[in-house]
Each structure stands twice: as structure tokens, then as C-alpha cells.
Amino acid sequence: MVDDDDDDWLLVKEAFAESQFTCDFELDLRRLKDGLELVDYLDKCISGADQKGPLPNLILLDLNMPGMHGKEALKWVKSHPTCRGIPVVIFTASTEKADAVECYQYGSSSFLEKPRSYDSLKEMIQTLCDYWACILQLPNS
């Protein structure tokens, strides 16, 4: 998850912890605070530097962050030959249709508005995990 908001991170982390999944998979949820940290993390995963581990199977990406904005980070991921296959789910407070259109043009897999209640967030996280980890078959699965 790439998000600069500490409260959003804590709520999402808690929602993942409370979710019950319909399949078995290993969840390794990590947080980065902006697009620059994402690019650095992915570069280190690719090069093997600092033993960051394998590339992520899914990126939850906020749009409005300091440093490198989410759209810039999305463009970087989708233009990188090694990373372009990673699904990127935009997870943002933005309700602007233009943001959604632009993110899809840049290659995002989904555009989700952050829910206003914790129960709705938990339901969204449950659905997100069920779909991306249990239903969909990705080439790197």
C-alpha cells in the first residue's frame, strides 16, 4: 500500500487483519508513504539490493501524496518492463471522474474511492482480496 496518511494505513491494516478470505494465501502487507518510496522499493526488489524480496502481486496506490504523486508513480510502474504486469489499484479519496479516466489511461487495474465508514472499508478489503487473490488468475500467481 502506498499512502502518506497514517490513519488510512492503520484502518486498512486492521481491515485486512479482520477479513476472512475464501482461499488460502499469504498476506504480506507493506506500506510505503509516497511514489518515490514505491519506485525505490521496486528498484531494490528488481536488483536484489537490501533483500527487499519479490515484487508485489498487487499495489494499492493513493493519488494525493507529497513527493511523487500517485499518477506519476502509476506511470512509472506501467512503463517499467519488469513492473508493468503488476496490478495497480488506485485507492483514493478523489471523487473526480477525470482522475479515474486518467488513471485507467495510464494502466490502472481499478479505481476505488476510499469508503467513509470502517464497515464499508472492511467489506471493500474483503472483496478486493477475494477477487485479486482467490478468483483472478494472474500470470505471476
pLDDT tens digit sequence for 78-106: 999 999 999 999 999 999 999 999 999 99
Contact 84, 78 (CB under 8 A): yes
Number of Cβ within a 10 Å radius of residue 97: 9
Taking residues 26-49, report their average pLDDT. 88
pTM: 0.88
What is the tally of structural domains in the chain? Answer: 1
Q: What is the mean pLDDT of residues 31-42?
A: 94
Q: CATH number for the domain including 106?
A: 3.40.50.2300
- Quick one: average pLDDT of 44-71? 86
Q: Average pLDDT in the 104-120 region?
A: 95
Domain that holds residue 65: 6-131
Residue 138 within any structural domain of the chain: no
Let me know if residue 48 belongs to a domain. Answer: yes
Q: Which three cell numbers stand for residue 114?
A: 476510499
